[in-house]
Amino acid sequence: MRRLTAVLSMMVAGQMLYAQEKINLEVINKIKAEGTTNSQVMDIAFHLTDANGPRLAGSPGYTKAANWAKESLGKWGLVNNALEPWGEFGKGWELKKSYVAMTAPYYKPLIAYPKTWTKSTAGLKNAEVLLIEATDSVGLTRYAGKLKGKVLLIYKGDTLRQTFKADAVRYTDEELNKMAAAQPQAQQQRRPQVDPNDTAAVRRMREQMARQGGGAAQVLNILKTMAEKEGAIALLSSSPRGHDGTLFVQGGGSYAVGAPDNFLDIMLTHEDYLSMCRLIKKGVPVKLDVDVKSEFNQKDTKGYNVVAEIKGTDPSLKDEIVMLGGHLDSWQSATGATDNAAGSAVMLEAVRILKALNIQPRRTIRIALWGGEEEGLLGSRGYVKNHFADPATMELKPEHAKFSSYFNIDNGTGKVRGIYLQGNDKVKDIFTQWLTPFHDMGAKWVTISNTGGTDHQSFDAVGLPGFQFIQDPIEYNTRTHHTNMDSYDHLIPEDLQQISVIVASFVYNAAMRDEKLPRKELPQPRGAGGRGF
């Protein structure tokens, strides 16, 4: 009898907990059906990748993709569609031609991509490769006067480290349980710590630290200055992570209006780099053909986000806003499929699903596809500053009080396994209930932990509820993130369908509940020199 009583008590408690949120399972099931049976997410992804090409911020490719997204949103019935300027970005850049091949001691085509915002060769050049063995500015002095007409290669060693782990993985239940068991962090901690299990955020943090410089970065900058002055042809870069034909290639310098064109910096696969190092160290001359043509554009130096709305219908709630989004821009060496056409495609698909079902939300649902994320969350930070608040001053604008929540996707193609609370324990029970209909789809974990390096942080920085979902890593960190392998073929259709359905449901629930989602305490102003995240 005691056991039966206990079981009944648990059932009643579970029903009471579930009743706290008015979840319309009939609508959720319709969202599931539309997002699987009639899914268009892969067609959307195709248009953003194969049909469009790279979407570097400020480039013609970005503008083309942004206009396609805007027009598609209009066709689906969304309103207030716009390419909304968020502020000053800088120079546009487009790669028009790139040919790099070894011509001596024998011919060999090379896998190589110029870094963004670097200049052209002004035609085909055949040049000898000069190996630079220097670890500081003093070591570089012995190369002074020897750089003219050369292609420069900085020596970092000539050994390839083999990897013995699978490229693609999914989170195990044990790993997800550890995330869910995380405890709230101390409120006084200024910069939230990233969950070490959140491999995508850890990766972004390491990249940021590398960009901040150090001894190697200083040597590189000094060498570029010398190369420009003496008339070298190009610099060759490589990374030990870029093996097996994969290149991790990003920016090559400033894109600010008025900044000089950056010296041509070309990223090579690590195997090609190692081969050249060995040849030169053995006294075998190496020559390359290099022909790079890039085009800069300063006609329009503003940055743009794509925005559109499904208007709210409740007389007392229609001016409140539920947002969803992801960044539309990418790097240049591929079509940015997992970073972040995947996130943009599922957000577009989520609002398409809601319109296809003729959902009449109580609050206004607003989608935003961000520009300039790769350069520092620029599009979302500019949008938040223009609409809600500046984290430097924390002077709140009227829309700040009307904001409910923002949901973001930017961790690749892997399906949703749960959600990061970003330290907001007030929404834990709410999201736990919202995930209940998706346990059968593998999504049920809620963690108090933070995840970093993407656009939800722009909202969190001014005290607005902004969230990123937990996604299976797949091969995001090992093979596709910021690489020449980030193409359509690395997308998993079933996973993107699952993400679209869950995002659409979260947005629907947020738009229909009686109250806005609860918030954390407002952060203190960061000051004029502070970061917005």
The model's pLDDT over 456-493, given as tens digits with 9 standing for 90+, comes to 999 999 999 999 999 999 999 999 999 999 999 999 99
- Look at residues 509, 508, 438 and name the one whose alpha carbon lies nearest to residue 470: 438
The confidence score (pLDDT) of residue 13 equals: 40
* Vertex 508 angle, CA 506 and 509, to 5°: 65
Residue 336 pLDDT greater than 70, yes or no: yes
The confidence score (pLDDT) of residue 416 equals: 98
The confidence score (pLDDT) of residue 529 equals: 61
Does residue 24 come out as left (phi exceeding 0), alpha (psi in the -120 to 50 range) or beta?
beta
- Look at residues 41, 270, 51 and name the one whose alpha carbon lies nearest to residue 161: 270
Mean pLDDT for the stretch of residues 197-207? 58
- Name the packing angle between helices 60-75 and 41-48 (round to 10°): 150
Mean pLDDT for the stretch of residues 389-416? 98
Residue 303 pLDDT greater than 90, yes or no: yes
User: What Cα–Cα distance (Å) separates residue 95 from each residue in 7, 68, 111, 119, 144?
Assistant: 66, 21, 15, 10, 31
Residue 384 pLDDT greater than 70, yes or no: yes
Distance, CA of 488 to CA of 497 (rounded, Å): 15
- pLDDT confidence tier of residue 422, bands split at 50, 70 and 90: very high
The confidence score (pLDDT) of residue 81 equals: 98
User: What's this model's pTM, rounded to 2 decimal places?
Assistant: 0.91
Q: Determine phi and psi for 189, rounding to 5 degrees.
A: -70, 120
The confidence score (pLDDT) of residue 156 equals: 86
Mean pLDDT for the stretch of residues 362-375? 98
Residue 91 pLDDT greater than 90, yes or no: yes
The two three-digit tokens of residue 335, written as one number: 């079509």
Residue 7 pLDDT greater than 50, yes or no: no
Residue 5 pLDDT greater than 90, yes or no: no
The confidence score (pLDDT) of residue 208 equals: 54
Tell me the β-bridge partners of 483: 248
- The CATH architecture annotation of domain 34-89+301-361+372-401+412-441+473-533 reads 3-Layer(aba) Sandwich (3.40)
Distance, CA of 39 to CA of 33 (rounded, Å): 9
How many of the other CB atoms lie within 10 Å of CB of 21?
A: 17
The two three-digit tokens of residue 184, written as one number: 């709230």
- Same fold: 34-89+301-361+372-401+412-441+473-533 with 97-162+206-294: no
**Residue with the two structure tokens 């709630």:** 317
Does residue 31 come out as left (phi exceeding 0), alpha (psi in the -120 to 50 range) or beta?
alpha
- Look at residues 155, 134, 119 and name the one whose alpha carbon lies nearest to residue 228: 119
Residue 199 pLDDT greater than 90, yes or no: no
Q: Torsion over CA of 326, 329, 330 and 334, rounded to 10 degrees?
A: 110
Mean pLDDT for the stretch of residues 64-73? 98
Distance, CA of 470 to CA of 420 (rounded, Å): 6
Mean pLDDT for the stretch of residues 220-224? 93
Mean pLDDT, all residues of the chain: 91
Mean pLDDT for the stretch of residues 494-506? 98
- Look at residues 194, 188, 200 and name the one whose alpha carbon lies nearest to residue 410: 200
3-state helix, strand, coil in the chain (%, to 5): 35, 20, 40
The confidence score (pLDDT) of residue 320 equals: 98
Distance, CA of 306 to CA of 286 (rounded, Å): 47
The confidence score (pLDDT) of residue 197 equals: 62
The confidence score (pLDDT) of residue 525 equals: 96
Helices marked H in 282-364: 342-356
The two three-digit tokens of residue 48, written as one number: 């953003």
* Long-range contact pairs involving 163-167 (C-beta distance under 8 Å, separation at least 24): 163/243, 165/478, 167/475, 167/478, 167/479
Look at the domain 97-162+206-294 and name its fold: Glucose Oxidase; domain 1 (3.50.30)
Q: Is the dihedral of CA 307, 311, 316, 322 positive or negative?
A: negative
Residue 6 pLDDT greater than 80, yes or no: no
Mean pLDDT for the stretch of residues 85-92? 97
Q: Are 312 and 345 in contact, with CB atoms under 8 Å apart?
A: no
Residue 323 pLDDT greater than 90, yes or no: yes
The confidence score (pLDDT) of residue 215 equals: 66
Task: Please classify residue 525 by burial: count the beta carbons closer than 10 Å to its beta carbon, then call 0-12 exposed, 13-18 middle and 19+ buried.
Answer: middle
User: What are the domain boundaries of the chain?
Assistant: 34-89+301-361+372-401+412-441+473-533, 97-162+206-294
Q: Are 517 and 284 in contact, with CB atoms under 8 Å apart?
A: no
Mean pLDDT for the stretch of residues 438-447? 98
The confidence score (pLDDT) of residue 203 equals: 55
Distance, CA of 302 to CA of 326 (rounded, Å): 19
The two three-digit tokens of residue 20, written as one number: 């706290």
Residue 9 pLDDT greater than 80, yes or no: no
Distance, CA of 478 to CA of 188 (rounded, Å): 35
Mean pLDDT for the stretch of residues 255-260? 94
Residue 12 pLDDT greater than 60, yes or no: no
Instruction: List all residues 6 or more positions away from 104 whose beta carbon is below 8 Å from its beta carbon.
Output: 285, 286, 287
Distance, CA of 141 to CA of 497 (rounded, Å): 57
Q: Are 533 and 208 in contact, with CB atoms under 8 Å apart?
A: no
Q: Determine phi and psi for 112, rounding to 5 degrees.
A: -155, 145
- pLDDT confidence tier of residue 188, bands split at 50, 70 and 90: very low
